[in-house]
Amino acid sequence: MAVANPTTEQAILSEVRKQNRDRRALRFWLGFVLLALFCLVLVGGATRLTNSGLSITEWKPIHGVIPPLSAAEWEEEFRLYQRIPEFQQLNSSMTVDEFKGIFWWEWAHRLIARGIGVIFALPLLYFWLTGRIEKRLRWPLVGILALGGLQGFIGWWMVSSGLSVRTDVSQYRLATHLVMACLIFAGCMWIMRGLSPHSNDPAPARSSRGFAAAIAIFALFQIYLGALVAGLDAGFSYNTWPLMDGAVIPSDLMIQQPFWINAFENPKTVQFIHRIGAYTLFALTLINMVIALRAAPWTTHARRAVLLFALVTLQAAIGIATLLMQVPLHWGLLHQAGALVVFGFAVANWRGFYGEYPHGTMIAEHD
């Protein structure tokens, strides 16, 4: 039997300790980014629910950080808002003080977005230059940064859709903006989860990994549908449950032509599809939980399946309450927060099936 070289063993232990320290630092950083992204999505939701998204009619990536500081600057900002259809058709009696109320939501949303760019880019540069980022993670992290830059353009592309003819933003562009935010969130969550220690529980049923992927992807699709609901104010179409104004399938779901356009532009149809999506996600997580508990009762994988089902159930209850109360601001935001929590946990659960990222070359060779 070969005798271990003490020098080699010491070098391996040193590398393990260093890599673990580096991974802890990266997890802390990505966790902070995730928290900031969560806040950004909530402020974005509040911006939509308070109809504040068109209050800033220009895109100034640098100078836009500074809000109006004098009465004259506020008057100028308000004058720009008065040029767009939203003011002319819906808010023509609005005063400067009332305008400030919607301005601050949009300004805060853009400020947080800029801040996230900074707290992602600068630590990424530092970790890269100091050799703390493993090679396998460098370009995925750069890719996330690039998506963040693209998201800024998508945000302005969305806002610009409501500055000339419409009195609101395009629901298609709103959905694109939210889905991109979720993809960035998922990328950070995926990498952070891969840097975290994993349990040594027995492998779950083979079907569980497939369900984990399906649940995460379908949760994202449900968020996309939710964005269409928000963009069309479809939450006000039917405020009864479980029936829709007394019917299981309302009669006016296919009144627009061509018929397929109803799925994207008919508020009643969009709400109907969002409800069906919620029932489908509930069923997926229920089946996943049953399979996990039967295959490996109360292992880490099974506990995650139970928690995921509980989160989806709670989110469904919040959605129903929000609907019945006709979408008050706080409940609408709670529903959006719940959606991101469900999606984030679904992504982390999916990543959990692949184990921790392998350690460095020297450690692997020793093993």
- Name residue 247's beta-bridge partners: 244
Q: Is the model's pLDDT at 107 over the cut of 50?
A: yes
358 within 8 A of 209, measured Cβ to Cβ? no
At 5, the pLDDT band (50, 70, 90 cuts) reads: low
Which of 168, 196, 224 terminates a domain? The answer is 196
pLDDT at 4: 54
Tokens of 7: 């020098």
Tokens of 208: 């569980």
C-alpha 105/C-alpha 48 separation (Å) is 9
pLDDT at 147: 98
Does residue 65 share a domain with residue 173?
yes
Q: What is the total count of domains within the chain?
A: 2
Domain hosting residue 334, numbered range: 199-367
Question: What rounded mean pLDDT belongs to the chain?
Answer: 93
Question: Residues for the chain: how many in total?
Answer: 367
> How large is the C-alpha radius of gyration of the chain?
24
Q: Is the model's pLDDT at 118 over the cut of 70?
A: yes
Which has more confidence, 262 or 207? 262
pLDDT at 366: 40
pLDDT at 361: 47
DSSP summary character for residue 90: I
Q: Is the model's pLDDT at 6 over the cut of 70?
A: no
Residue with tokens 């949760």: 219
Does residue 183 share a domain with residue 258?
no
184 within 8 A of 37, measured Cβ to Cβ? yes
Does residue 294 share a domain with residue 165?
no
Q: Is the model's pLDDT at 1 over the cut of 60?
A: no
C-alpha 327/C-alpha 320 separation (Å) is 10
Q: Residues 199-219: pLDDT tens digits? A: 777 666 677 889 999 999 999
pLDDT at 263: 97
H helix intervals, the chain: 6-49, 71-81, 85, 96-129, 135-160, 171-194, 206-231, 262-265, 267-295, 300-324, 329-351, 361-366
Where b means 16+ CB within 10 Å and e means fewer, 286-318 reads ebbbebbbebbeebebbebbeebbebbeebbeb
Q: What type of residue is 24?
A: R
C-alpha 246/C-alpha 268 separation (Å) is 14
In a domain, 145, yes or no: yes
Which of 196, 228, 261 terminates a domain? The answer is 196
pLDDT at 359: 67
Does residue 115 share a domain with residue 229?
no
pLDDT at 364: 42
Across residues 177-201, what is the average pLDDT?
A: 93
Please give the model's pTM, rounded to 2 decimal places: 0.93
Chain centroid to CA 154: 15
In a domain, 203, yes or no: yes
Q: Residues 309-349: pLDDT tens digits? A: 999 999 999 999 999 999 999 999 999 999 999 999 999 99
Q: Is the model's pLDDT at 262 over the cut of 80?
A: yes
Tokens of 10: 């010491």
C-alpha 177/C-alpha 212 separation (Å) is 25
Does residue 139 share a domain with residue 208?
no
Which of 196, 220, 246 terminates a domain? The answer is 196
From residue 13, alpha-carbon distances to 8, 28, 86, 363 in Å are 9, 23, 64, 9
* pLDDT-above-70 percentage for the chain: 95
